[in-house]
Amino acid sequence: MFIISFLLSSAVVVMATTPYNSVDYSCLHEDSWMYNTDKHYNSYYKAYTGISSTSFSTSNGVSTIGVSYTNIVDYDREFTQTDIDNLNNRPKASTDFVKGKTTASAGKEYVWGTNIGYNTNELPGSCSLGYYPPGPACPEKGTWNWMFPTTPAKETSSGCYNGNGPIGTLVNGAFLFNWGDGIGYCSAGVNKCTSYTWTNVAPVFENYDMDVCIGRNIILFLLFIIYYLLFIFIIIYN
């Protein structure tokens, strides 16, 4: 245990003392992206999947790599019996699916976006393809070209802010979002809302679905507790 702790501590020290712009990641970028070498095309989103191309350039002494993609990835999948069982055993399968269970079959390959029986009318605004549970909207294709520095440097400008939009991309061409969450207004009698209130989007749509992104929600909850305790402290001691 002492040896492991020592090695971990040493690694932390090395990472902390390594200059921000001392490593050139050109080779890593060149070899890591998942290129669409077989021209895979998704007919539902009418787009080629994965990474289209990459290109290197240098401007004002800064080397960057441009990554082009459509935000549509190759998630085609052959469903197993375990997949079918998991879908049919969802807590809200009776209302999530039109027939109370998925229409997909084990041993069959499905293109990402194929209708597998989800009830698209359960929540207004839900993706209409039938591949996704009620809630999220459909992924949208686009023409994206993100520029990444091959020698990352520490942010020096002031007022840097990230909203709820994408802040990067994964190696397969999917958007990468930050830890923040969106907020929506729930009107009584609309979208199954029973009261007028502001609500976080992720806890509603990811309650038991998708990635169940509890990480960012916990962060927001902890921040709320900190601000609340600070508010109480100011009231008591002011």
pLDDT tens digit string along 99-136?
999 999 999 999 999 999 998 876 666 788 999 887 76
DSSP annotation of 149 reads E
Across the range 42-62, mean pLDDT stands at 90
Please say whether the dihedral angle defined by the alpha carbons of residues 181, 184, 186 and 191, taken in this order, is positive or negative. Answer: negative
| Every domain of the chain and the residues it spans | 19-72+139-153+167-176, 179-238
d(CA 219, CA 178): 12
pLDDT tens digits along 152-190: 777 777 666 666 677 788 889 888 876 666 666 666 666
| Predicted structure pTM score | 0.64
Are 149 and 129 spatial neighbours (Cβ–Cβ below 8 Å)? no
Are the C-beta atoms of 164 and 175 separated by less than 8 Å? no
Burial 10-29 (b: 16+ CB within 10 A, else e): eeeeeeeeeeeeeeeeeeeb
In what helix (H) or strand (E) does residue 205 lie, and over which residues does it extend?
helix 201-205
Beta bridge partners of 168: 176
Q: pLDDT by residue (tens digit) across 178-233?
A: 666 666 666 666 656 666 665 556 555 555 565 444 445 555 566 667 766 777 77
